[in-house]
Amino acid sequence: STQIHLASRPTGWPTAENFRTVRVDLPNLAPGQVRVENSHISVDPYMRGRMNDVRSYVPPFAVGEVMTGGAVGEVVASAAEELPVGTTVLHQQGWRDVAQGDASDFTAVQPVPGVPASAFLGVLGMTGLTAWVGLTTIASFRPGDTVFVSGAAGAVGSVVGQIARLLGAKRVIGSAGSAEKVRLLTERYGFDAAFNYKDAPVREQLPAHAPDGVDVYFDNVGGDHLEAALDVMNDDGRAALCGAISQYNATGAAPGPDNLGNLVTRRLTLRGFIVGHHLDHATEYRERMGAWLRDGAVATDETVIEGIDHAVDGFLAMMRGENVGKMLIRTR
């Protein structure tokens, strides 16, 4: 089988030299084990953080070890009764075409009719749950709120905007990094307004799209986006601090918002969160999103790169913004 290992820790933007493709022979199955052929592996922004040797909410990747993370596949050989051949499973063994281990490391998933299993890495998986928890629990979304989402055409952001609309937002505003994505936001995902943050400073563009201010800001980007959002926040506004992708490859200290004083005068709540601490919401979320998907109420996109040998290319393309919706690697 083919695995992608972390070869060295990057400084700034990762390059191909930071990774190594390794071919391994898998041993025979021990009792209680299964072998899984992955169909898709997930590449996610948080993986950039795990390449650094720093304390965080997940331990760093080990140099010389496989890049672990979410993947879905099918059991192709089984020495474990509970996971027979043909079962679709979700697991965390990451960037490899074939995964093998104890059945307890794999979770059987119940496919939603008409929805591909890859959705368990996106809209029905970690990124979708992040959108749901961030909006409803962390930002305490209420019907009638005006919501601004950055990174809005990505896996998390595209779901945030659509859930906000389904739950009765007054207005949903999104930002993304290309004209094509901006068009998708209004035409496909139902955002009321959208802009390209590369056209002009966010601070100059956002006020025109938020004439009545913003009650909820869902922050995927940090930096200039957070600063611009704080300018237009209404009294008692709430921001869910989900990520700060504008800073993940930065080498120096990033400039911070100069308007944190608004937190006081407008009684704002900025609250960070990690989706892994809110897994108790997963069942309710999957039920609600499953129903929305069956009804065609939510549009969901994936950008799929072919082949385990292109996992690194796919990861870097995602960090550059070349994905719409969830970025995935197809491995068979």
Q: Per rule CB under 6 A, is residue 130 in the interface with ligand NDP?
A: yes
What does the alpha-carbon distance between residue 160 and residue 190 come to, in Å, rounded to a whole number?
Answer: 11
Give CA separation, 146 vs 12, 243, 252, 277, in Å.
35, 20, 34, 26
Q: Which of 177, 237, 257, 314 binds ligand NDP (CB under 6 A)?
A: 177
Q: Which of residues 135-174 bind ligand NDP (CB under 6 A)?
A: 151, 153-157
Can you state the percent helix, strand and coil of the chain, rounding each to 5?
A: 35, 25, 40
What does the alpha-carbon distance between residue 304 and residue 316 come to, in Å, rounded to a whole number?
Answer: 13
Q: Per rule CB under 6 A, is residue 99 in the interface with ligand NDP?
A: no
Q: Per rule CB under 6 A, is residue 181 in the interface with ligand NDP?
A: yes
Closest distance to ligand NDP from the beta carbon of 242 (Å): 5
Window 300-329: contact mask with ligand NDP (x via CB under 6 A)? ------------------xx-x-x---x--
* Contact predicate 332/37, CB 8 Å: yes
Q: Per rule CB under 6 A, is residue 292 in the interface with ligand NDP?
A: no
Q: Per rule CB under 6 A, is residue 46 in the interface with ligand NDP?
A: yes
129 Cβ partners below 8 Å, 6+ apart?
275, 278, 279, 281, 282, 285
Closest distance to ligand NDP from the beta carbon of 93 (Å): 19
HSE at residue 125, side-chain half, CA atoms within 13 A, is 31
What does the alpha-carbon distance between residue 272 and residue 56 come to, in Å, rounded to a whole number?
Answer: 14
- Please tell me whether residue 103 adopts helix, strand or coil conformation: helix
Size of the site for ligand NDP (CB under 6 A): 30
Q: Of 140 and 234, which has the nearer Cβ to ligand NDP?
A: 140
Q: Of 176 and 206, which has the nearer Cβ to ligand NDP?
A: 176
Closest distance to ligand NDP from the beta carbon of 80 (Å): 30
- Please tell me whether residue 205 adopts helix, strand or coil conformation: helix
| Residue type at position 244 | A
Q: Per rule CB under 6 A, is residue 274 in the interface with ligand NDP?
A: yes
Q: Which of 275, 293, 305, 311 binds ligand NDP (CB under 6 A)?
A: 275
What does the alpha-carbon distance between residue 84 and residue 162 come to, in Å, rounded to a whole number?
Answer: 36
Closest distance to ligand NDP from the beta carbon of 196 (Å): 8
Q: Of 80 and 176, which has the nearer Cβ to ligand NDP?
A: 176
Residues near ligand NDP (CB under 6 A): 44-46, 127, 130, 151, 153-157, 176-178, 181, 197, 220-221, 242-243, 245-246, 273-275, 318-319, 321, 323, 327
